[in-house]
């Protein structure tokens, strides 16, 4: 068995991925701000001020004097990585970020997302057909949680479906905390090479998808390199997070049968919006968020010096609120509470509406297709991703 620890400052209780670990809770209860080490495959380890309270987290994330973690260096002449790739939103602050962000969010319009709805429904049904045919019994991660968001990303980028195995491998390596800088750089070179091919194809003939939209609307003002960065944003940010959420949500529901029944029997779909928000809040699968103080600042009247990093535990912030029933409990009927699963402020997730749509379509469809779905192994034997920045289940053996 592996413990659902994942990233150090969003770590869970051993054997329970739905609750923050006891040492994280202890740090949360300590009124003084603590400095903690943050691993980074590019920079080694940095020390950062840990923020676990929701209001402090929102204050940091909405204050432009906290910049994105590891500043983008336009004059960088060493090997490329995601941190010095033009077009990647999390590399920018201020006006530069606003410029790229407008273009990218313009491609994620509600119209485009709604148009994807039918495509996602088809992909969900095709995968459920395959699971049903091969069963009874399946690993829900390999057959459903992993391929589903990948297929949607292929649609978003106009990537040939036969490339998905290579894309999967590359995006998993990119989210790994268990690799060397060299491996990351080689992987990054392969990903940028692949994306450059897609960008070139869209330059010749812009497709009816997000990358095609970016080329059509902004192709004249963006370099190929910037378009490559924007494509990588979708690929890297949109896969591990969603596959993690689908797998972990399925586990949360399978281990709370009364909650699962609510979602499965929700004939008019009225529960799904709140249910997905509750799962996003409870699970907070994304890594903790890192910022750096551009000047001397304070949180809770305690000084953060210019140049110091801050790490925000979104999991603890989502669980530290005084909710009834307790924030550690899954309650699909809870009145949706604001949460930090998609971050907050200027860098808040650009793909959040797409993520919500995929979750709202995938989860009820799974439990309606297999009304008797249950874990095929004891809960305690479930294995979690330990090598990834994003929390997820490694294998989810189920039967019906």
Residue 96 or 186 having the CB closest to ligand HEM: 96
Among 343, 367, 392, 393, binds ligand HEM (CB under 6 A): 343
* Smallest gap from residue 378 Cβ to ligand HEM (A): 27
User: Is residue 141 within 8 Å of residue 249, measured between CB atoms?
Assistant: no
Residue 289 or 373 having the CB closest to ligand HEM: 289
By CB under 6 A, is residue 87 in contact with ligand HEM?
no
By CB under 6 A, is residue 361 in contact with ligand HEM?
no
From residue 29 to residue 68, what is the string marking binding to ligand HEM with x (rule CB under 6 A)? ----------------------------------------
By CB under 6 A, is residue 363 in contact with ligand HEM?
no
Helix 94-107 and helix 210-218, axial crossing angle in degrees, nearest 10 = 120
Residues in region 195-234 near ligand HEM by CB under 6 A: 233-234
By CB under 6 A, is residue 354 in contact with ligand HEM?
yes
Burial of 365 (0-12, 13-18, 19+ CB in 10 A): middle
User: Is residue 388 within 8 Å of residue 285, measured between CB atoms?
Assistant: no
DSSP state of 280: H
* Smallest gap from residue 318 Cβ to ligand HEM (A): 11
Residues in region 232-271 near ligand HEM by CB under 6 A: 233-234, 237-238, 241-242, 245
Q: How far apart are CA 395 and CA 176, in angstroms?
A: 17
* Smallest gap from residue 148 Cβ to ligand HEM (A): 11
Exposure letters 271-282 (e unless 16+ CB within 10 A, then b): bbebbbbbbbbb
User: Is residue 320 within 8 Å of residue 327, measured between CB atoms?
Assistant: yes
Instruction: Find all residues with CB under 8 Å of 254, minimum gap 6, and list them.
Output: 260, 373, 374, 375, 398
CA distance from start to end of the chain: 23
Residues in region 154-193 near ligand HEM by CB under 6 A: none
Residue 46 or 377 having the CB closest to ligand HEM: 46
Gyration radius from the chain CA atoms: 21
Among 250, 286, 304, 357, binds ligand HEM (CB under 6 A): 286
By CB under 6 A, is residue 112 in contact with ligand HEM?
no
Query: 21 — phi, psi (to 5°)?
Result: -65, 155
By beta-carbon distance, which residue lies closest to ligand HEM? 351
Strands (E) located in the chain: 12-13, 16-20, 34-40, 44-51, 66-68, 138-139, 289-293, 297-299, 302-304, 309-312, 374-375, 383-384, 393-395, 397-399
In 3-state terms, what secondary structure has residue 16? strand
Residue 5 or 376 having the CB closest to ligand HEM: 5
Q: How many residues bind ligand HEM (CB under 6 A)?
A: 22
* Smallest gap from residue 388 Cβ to ligand HEM (A): 13
22 CA to centre of own chain? 24
* Smallest gap from residue 237 Cβ to ligand HEM (A): 3
Among 58, 65, 80, 101, binds ligand HEM (CB under 6 A): 101
Residue 242 or 271 having the CB closest to ligand HEM: 242
Binding site residues, ligand HEM, CB under 6 A? 89-90, 101, 233-234, 237-238, 241-242, 245, 285-286, 289, 341-343, 347, 349-351, 354-355
């Amino acid at each position: 068995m592996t413990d659902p620890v994942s990233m150090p400052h969003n770590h869970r209780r051993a054997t329970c991925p739905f609750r923050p670990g006891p040492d994280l809770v202890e740090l949360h209860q300590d009124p003084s701000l603590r400095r903690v080490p943050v691993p980074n495959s590019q920079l080694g380890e940095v020390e950062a001020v840990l923020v676990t309270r929701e209001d402090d987290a929102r204050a940091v994330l909405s204050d432009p004097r906290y910049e994105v973690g590891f500043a983008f260096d336009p004059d960088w002449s060493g090997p490329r990585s995601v941190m010095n790739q033009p077009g990647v939103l999390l590399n920018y602050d201020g006006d530069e970020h606003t410029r790229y962000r407008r273009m990218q969010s313009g491609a994620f319009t509600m119209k485009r997302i709604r148009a994807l709805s039918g495509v996602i429904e088809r992909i969900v049904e095709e995968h459920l057909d395959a699971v049903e045919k091969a069963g009874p019994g399946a690993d829900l991660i390999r057959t459903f949680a992993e391929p589903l968001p990948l297929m949607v990303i292929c649609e978003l980028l106009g990537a040939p479906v036969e490339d998905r195995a290579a894309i999967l491998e590359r995006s998993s390596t990119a989210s790994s905390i268990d690799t060397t800088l060299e491996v990351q750089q080689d992987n990054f070179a392969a990903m940028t090479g692949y994306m450059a091919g897609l960008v070139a194809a869209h330059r010749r003939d812009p497709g009816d998808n997000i990358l095609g939209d970016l080329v059509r609307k902004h192709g004249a003002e963006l370099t190929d390199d910037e378009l490559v960065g924007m494509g990588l944003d979708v690929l890297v940010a949109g896969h591990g997070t969603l596959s993690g959420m689908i797998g972990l949500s399925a586990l949360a529901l399978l281990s709370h049968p009364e909650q699962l029944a609510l979602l499965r029997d929700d004939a008019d779909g009225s529960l799904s919006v709140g249910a997905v928000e509750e799962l996003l809040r409870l699970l907070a699968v994304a890594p903790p968020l890192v910022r750096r103080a551009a000047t001397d600042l304070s949180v809770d009247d305690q000084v953060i010096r210019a140049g110091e990093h801050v790490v925000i535990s979104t999991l603890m912030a989502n669980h530290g609120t005084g909710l009834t029933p307790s924030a550690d409990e899954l309650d699909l009927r809870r009145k949706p509470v604001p949460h930090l699963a998609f971050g907050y402020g200027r860098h808040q997730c650009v793909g959040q509406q797409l993520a919500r749509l995929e979750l709202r379509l995938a989860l009820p469809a799974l439990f309606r297709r297999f009304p008797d779905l249950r874990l095929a192994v004891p809960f305690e034997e479930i294995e979690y991703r330990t090598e990834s920045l994003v929390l997820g289940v490694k294998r989810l053996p189920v039967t019906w």
